[in-house]
Chain A
């Protein structure tokens, strides 16, 4: 093989083409091939993952729907000098009168839900008013003052708190859902304030979600470490059997496992029954272990355990037994050898398993829903609740985005402290 080196420092191939061009040409085919191979996956991920995530992020700050329903009203509303006049000017009343009377019923209905988030009471007010306006328009009533007419229809139109609540809907983008997800809301002057006492539920839930996730991760590590160690060091015949025991629950339906825990833990369940039979507990002293946080903790730990054991196992499997022997040979007592030689080498497995379990736990839904009862609910419960029951998708999206944010922060922290290249999943 010979290469002609020209005077212009450009290396040519034997055929006289610049070497770089030639290399690019040969590489291009491979690149195209590789791209075509991953293209279906890329498309799949974009359609089913990236787009929905951005849609969700968009929804969490989206407030445009209501702006399409009351464009004129909002325009006039912005001109209202709140210090000078107690109630909005006549133009605002006129605009909302016609927008309610002539607007699309379905769109108004959808906007109502949004209006009710900022102040409850809007729904009935608008509905009653709308009905009356429709009658007015049919009868072609001549109206001198829309303000007076509306207040006549319903006196709440003279209540300035309703009008103030409208301030937060004016922009097409709003952070209100994020504030709501953190038990905060706007007051009449658009200041962020705490929700009223009885409506503060989310911060409590966030903290509980964190607490449960941390505990579950900790218990998984505590229980999973010895199992993974055994799994990695037993002779093949036994370790295979043990591996099946680890994986068997993995292959069983989540629902089945969760309900099995209910059977085990409930007051008339297996564990209580055995304890009473053994005389440890009296019959009326049965412990409540399910439909509370304890139940959530126990069931989630068991269900997420394989996610801790498997990464740990894969890391421990490749730690040569000679390392512990070498440590002993060099004079380290078994405990020192374990702490200084074995444990540090399992860090990639512990952190991978820990991250995996924590991330799964923080968004867990089915298990806490079934065994959590009233005080064992995690944030997933509220996301589902608003998604299905109140249809407050903005709030759902905001909560989802917060979860996503927490995950990204954790990932960043993890990368800072341990280094993401140290993660080892298998």
Chain B
């Protein structure tokens, strides 16, 4: 029977983390060098954890499927990283960052975790400066800040529109140092395909060398998953094409609870999908909504060009529905509002999937040069992709799957329900509740990797009984056998349809039934359709080549196979949560004017799903108690 013990320390919120650190057992320096930790993933969370654990004296084996640890998708984060520094003296504080994050997450995250995140946020920025990250500066030499969606203070630190890149390269440089020192062994182009449990503890992984196809077991004293989110389950998303759910899904099948999988963030401002060949959706920075106004024609099927539609025939729908926040309404709210007008047949562009993001007012008031200075690079990017000049005609945007708040359930120590299996960054569920605020993902990834996991994993290693195990342990041999059998199966179907065709079909199904808004009948029909699609996949997929060579199609087919199973879990969670909160909008639970209706009496809990072979997963509930911030209705009207 699965037990969810969040291990939240007692006592005042402000001192929980300090007291917890003091009560944690330490590993002596002599013993650290005899302990090996596997870190899977080398994005912000993985690279910062691997480098810090190496520096502490552990031996670390770090795995990534890219050719270099510098390429993880953290690199694509544009806007910035939040920290409660209050450098602007505008009333920011740890408490305010905590409050904004709890409220932004629609009261579906743990107070203790979020408070700790806000506390360490200030250390993160200092650490990044020490690593040489070229944050934007003021003329006086001090760090510059910008403001971001959903908050009233200026606390976001940034490196032009490439903050994720610079933070990742900083963590990568720290990792490089530890590789050079021999503390970290890096395994690039190597993919986790299974987890190895010995006596119920996570003790290793099975990985495939993507160049040679060699499958091998790697043993350790603890395993850390830093493998990111699963937005690619929707096929089209803002994620990189390699992002996948395989590691966390495999862990789930070994007994790690999966928490709140239905909390998937749809970002409002992406370039609309074009033709069927499109492989990804490109995000346009949220900052555009500072000056751009969203509108659609008032009448459906109005095919006039935007310039010919006079003001009275336009509907500035965000300003109309949310006069207080207008075009700066939070991501979940803005995305849904876009969906509503498109569903009414008032969408613009091919297939009616798009709304205008119009800069003509600000260009008229402040001049074209001001817009060029602020957003020039984004306008250039838009032009390159669509061939349209947004200085002349309004941009068209449409929501796109972007980030997943759900992930493997972890306790306060970031350990999953499998002892010795730690989960950090986007891969865990912990800090963002039902909706993540902008500039918070970089903060969480680095908080976990630099400042939280290195402490908490020490306590586990100091207190757990971890007998030595050989690389050819029976469990390892069995896990290798499982992986080899599965690869053999994929290669021998020899059907007619490609993995991409199945992936696209699954993505469309989920987008329609478990996307921006969900309802019982849609989810039920998706739950019927997914197993059928999965059976077709295993009967009719075409994977060429062999397992013991460089075979990108084999890698991809394996990931799609996992998505075809995981999608069911996603729908189960969405179906069971009979309320609307944050990014999860159930059509049955809305107010008369179409706002989400949260149900704290019944659903103020974390839904942690347990895997059951051949039957539906079982949900376990971790109640969320709000001692310090009483839940209120989020209103942006």
User: Is B a genuine binding partner of A?
Assistant: no
